[in-house]
Structure 1
Amino acid sequence: MTDGRTEQLDATRDRAEQVGASRDRAEQVGASRDRTERVDAGGGRVERGDAARNRVAVLRATERLLAEGGGDHVSIDRVAALAGVGKGTVFRRFGSRAGLLQALLEERSKDLREAVTDGPPPLGPGAPARDRLLAFLDGLGAIAEGNAILLAAHEQACAEDKYDDPSYRSWHGHLSALIAEARPELDAGFVAHALLAVFDGALIRHVTPPEDPRRFTRSVRSLALALLGDGAAGEGEDGRHLRAEVAARVPEDR
């Protein structure tokens, strides 16, 4: 025979299971909604409007928390609460805190990525490898100087798989190809890793005084010229205009 306490515990357990089942059903419905896509006029897959809005809200919440308290202030719970979405929505879309920071970094480097593939020279195709490499480092330097807090948080969160990070792979692949073309006798992959190693958020903030916000990019440029050897192209008017344009378009977190 069961006593009153046992019956009470059983009833409590039943209610908890019902709540959990309801939550699971809601998560499944949300997952189905997030995965739903529509076909655009060209036959390609595009993101649903609600999923796109959620993604933007989550990224804006992430960058706000990052600006308020640095990488340690960013968590799935805080981001979800600030964005006004369920925690499951953030997990499904980004997977983890590291995924949030990866996505934010990809967003902030989108203009540079598109300019490399489709933009005019010297950043885009058509210019000598040396000119393209220096233009790319100028553009990447502008992103780094404006997003040192994000880079520092990203470096910490993604330390275990840094070299598999989407942004890093893209940057490294582009630099390696340009270095191999400009200086085929060098170990292009290693030199590209060496250049990217200095794009460290803590280092950028340490070496950048308020009165000289472009010191980091100039120093990276000098390092690249030293690695490439004599004959590297100068910046030129196009390079200066490009650097100013990229810097003006990059959101800042500090």
Structure 2
Amino acid sequence: MRKSLSQIKKMVQAGDIITCLTAYDAAYAYWIGQAGVDMILVGDSLGMVVQGHTTTLRVTVDDMVYHTKMVQRGNDQAWCIADMPFMSDSTLDKGLETAARLMKEGGANMVKLEGGQRILPMVSALSQLGIPVCGHLGLLPQSVEKHGYKVQGRDEASAAVLLADALALQAAGAEMLVLECVPSSLAKKITHKLSIPVIGIGSGSGTSGQVLVLHDILGVTVGKAPKFSKNFLAQSDSIQSALQSYVADVKSGHFPAPCHEVG
């Protein structure tokens, strides 16, 4: 049986670290669930690791619905989050339509949006309609043309903005937050300030859980994998055991180690 949002929240209260991986098809979704991964993210990262683009910006709503639908056919264990792709939330009506498609056609359990103050009205509207929302702060892949791929929140002013945005997203109704590439000390502070689960990627070990891109942990990334990731297949004899190693290392606190933090 798939995990529920209430079960995920109870894990946080119990101090059980949450595990999450991306998936884009039924087969990997199945084995990720069998390995004990708590959540699956159908990320718009598929634009890079599946479609071969250099950014996530070309991913369409149709792409996201298609891949979410495939993932949910194979997934019978994990809570499933689907990304709302670039510009699909540019207006309130457009965002509501996108979320509806991801939930109704794709079968997602939750939708994820990037940004802070800009998306507050969208988060509030979705929450009022009963759609679970995950926020995303820090490095925003959909904004790389403007901000680039770099750590966010290093200085006091930008760190204060990230904390304020995190609190505002929670107040607007967000049920979860992803923090990407922020200093570990800031990620830990934000996690302690919020009552919702905070999932880190390249943000240290002080969050409620961790998420990585599937292709990175299996060592099949085309090009250079992020320095905060780890190839779990290199020390395993099968994909299944690599997935199990990821879960074990995250749950035990062995990953991320300091060498996998961005500072």
TM-score tier, shorter chain, comes to under 0.3
Larger relative strand fraction: 2
Give 1 or 2 for the bigger CA radius of gyration: 1
Larger relative helix fraction: 1
TM-score, normalised relative to structure 1 = 0.28
